[in-house]
Structures are given as structure tokens and as C-alpha cells.
Amino acid sequence: MQKIIDRFVKYITVDTQSDPNNPDFPSTEKQWNLAHILVKELNEIGLEDVTLDDHCYIMATLPSNVEFKVPTIGFIAHIDTSPDYTGTNVKPQFYPNYNGEDIILNKEENIVLSPSYFDDLLLYKGQTLITTDGSTLLGADDKAGITEIVSAMEYLMEHPEIKHGKIRIGFTPDEEVGKGAHMFDVEKFGADWAYTMDGSQVGELEYENFNAAGAVVTINGKIVHPGYAKGKMINSMTIASEFIASLPENEVPEKTEGYEGFFHLHNMKGEVEKTELQYIIRDHDLKLFKERKVLFQKLVNDLNKKLGANLVEVEIKDQYFNMRKKIEPVMHVVDIAEEAMKQLGIKPLISAIRGGTDGSQLSYKGLPCPNIFAGGHNFHGRYEYVAAESIQKATDVVVKIAELTAERAKK
């Protein structure tokens, strides 16, 4: 357990925040810092074919230790952290034998991680919680996933009595800005299927995710002196507020759950002359997803018609699609993960992801890739936490999947 904690801390204290506004690949130079650490570590534990390409993708191989043919499986995680909250100077805090009470993350600023608000905390009473100090995110998304994969590969290297086929591992950049799978070389990876270790609560197993698009709404105004503005000034921020109000008020992340889709305004900046709104559009159902995009465009058109001029522009780009369509024909890949959890005494929680992973794009590139829990909660912010025991359990699941895949191949 301590070795896993030490490995996790080593990873999260390296700042790897990605940048959605930089078209370079990777979008930030600092992602290379963790990439080089990982390459060194993978070589040290004895993996083969360790590569780091020009776009910061890492791949490596754990060779088969059996003589019969076993499908090649893969495990994938991402090295970047969310651009939504700073990952600089992460100072993890540790709470062994968590007692179920409030955790004071930052006394000076009165930042409290409380089970009265985040009730999932109570699932981890008696365990070792790792939290932030209230000033950064933690980085369990997805450095917990990296920790689990590396730890599992090291364990399998040290325990050759556990029989397994060839295993490929991959670490990607820029997942948090939607580019994590864009330059992933599926043919080079060479796996029959894979799993992303990028879920949350212990037991999560997911093969459905949102269909996703990003939308940028630009409103153009006109600035003149406010004392002489009548009939001349066009305040882009006022128009922006009208557009925001035109969307269905209950179809937002904070008011939806399960399979319900939403429109999410995640960034806005503006002044009188120009305002930009950045949205994400999400729905599990492809038909409803398409209807959401049509509605979004219609609201822009309606507003321009009302204004009597084309002051509002919109660009909508698809990001990824629901992987269910690609996973259902090969459901045995989900069955193996489910059985692995059951054999380890973990209750599988099969549900749809209210988000996306590299696995959704990889599934459409020909690599079926459901998602498995990594253990963290409250991703992308100061209240992020993970139990050390959850990282251990996810590590055990990786090992067990490798073992079960070989057992099934032998029959």
C-alpha cells in the first residue's frame, strides 16, 4: 500500500495541466515532464518496447508468460490534468482511518470537505483518504489510473506464477481537452481490446458515454461613450445573457442525471464590443444529441433575426460519440472485467458515463475500450480525493483481468 501511495504522490506532484486553447500536441510542454518519468520507470520495472513518440504518447509491453495463444489486451490512462483548475504545486493531505467527519482542507480560507455535502465520503470510512490542501486539484484524474496500471505491471513482473498473455499499456496526453485519442496509433498498440482506467467510484464499469460536441458562440457588439449611447451602442454582453436564457433552464449539468443530456456553459469572457461563450453539448441518445445541436443553431438564428443583423455567430464541432455501439458486439470484454471485480469481492456498478474517456474515441478507431474505476471523486477541483485502498483495488482488477483473459483463452 505504501509503495502505491508513494508512486501516486510522485505522479500528482508533477504539474501536467493541459490547455484547450493551444493547438500544439501536446498542448503543454510540462506534460513531457511526467512522460519522461514514466518511461524511466517502465524500463526499470522490466517492461519491453517502451516508446515515447513525438506527440507524448507512451506505449510499453508486458510479454506473455504462457505458450498458448491469448488475446492481446491493453490498459490506458492519461497523463494530463484538467485545465478547469490549477494543478501547480499540489500538496496532498493524508487521513488514515478516516472517521467520517468533516475534513478541513484549508483553515485560513474555511475550505471544508464535508460528507454532509459530498456523501460519497462515507463509503471510505476507516480507509486512508488522500485529499488536496484546498488550493489545487489532486490529479487522481487520471494519475490514479496511471498508478494502477504501472503497479499492476510491476506486480505481474514480480509474480510469474500468475499466467497472462501479452499486455500493452498506453499513456496519452491531452485527454482533458478532448484530444487524447486523436493521434493514438491503434495499429502500433496492437491490442485486441483495452480498458481505460479513468472512472470514479470503486466498482464502476462503463461501456456507454455521452455523444459530445463543443460550441463557441461569438457575439459582436459596438462600443460608444455611454453618455451618448442611445441608438448607437450594441452591448454584446446583454445579447449574450439573452442567448443564455433562451436555452432550456433545467437542461444543465447541475439539474440532470443518468441518461439526461445537457447544455453546459463552461467558460465566458466579454466586454461591450465582443463576448464569447464556450459550451459543451451532451446526450447519450444520438437522435437527441443531433436535436440538441439543431436547437442550439436555431436559437442563434432566432436571435439574429430578432436583432435584425447577424451579430451572433456559432461554431459547433463534434468531439466524440457513445462507445456503446462499438462495445455491444464484443460484450465479452465487459464480461471479463465484471467477473474480475466479482472474484475480488467488488460489486460491479455498470452505468453510463456522464462524460467521455479516451476509450470512446478509441472504440471508434477500432479498439474496443470500456472504462474501469480509478477510485477518485470530485474531479477537476479543490475537493478532489481518493482512498488509497481504491487505488489498490483497481490495481488488483487489472491483474485479475489479465489472469482471467488467459484462463478463458486456455479453455
Positions marked active-site: 80, 175
Q: How far apart are CA 130 and CA 387, in angstroms?
A: 6
C-alpha cell at 342: 466479482
Residues 314 and 378 sit within 8 Å (Cβ to Cβ): no
Residues 384 and 131 sit within 8 Å (Cβ to Cβ): yes
Residue 4 belongs to what H/E stretch? helix 2-12
Q: How far apart are CA 411 and CA 402, in angstroms?
A: 15
Between the alpha carbon of residue 35 and those of residues 12, 24, 143, 185, 397, the distances in Å are 13, 16, 12, 17, 24
- The 3-state DSSP composition of the chain as helix, strand, coil percent (nearest 5) reads 35, 25, 40
C-alpha cell at 193: 481490446
Phi, psi of 253 (to 5 degrees): -55, -40
Between the alpha carbon of residue 11 and those of residues 59, 212, 327, 388, 398, the distances in Å are 17, 29, 31, 14, 19
* Sheet order of strands, 93-95 included: 93-95, 129-131, 385-387, 376-377
Q: What burial letters (b/e) apply to 187-199, b meaning 16+ CB within 10 Å?
A: eebebbbbbbbbb
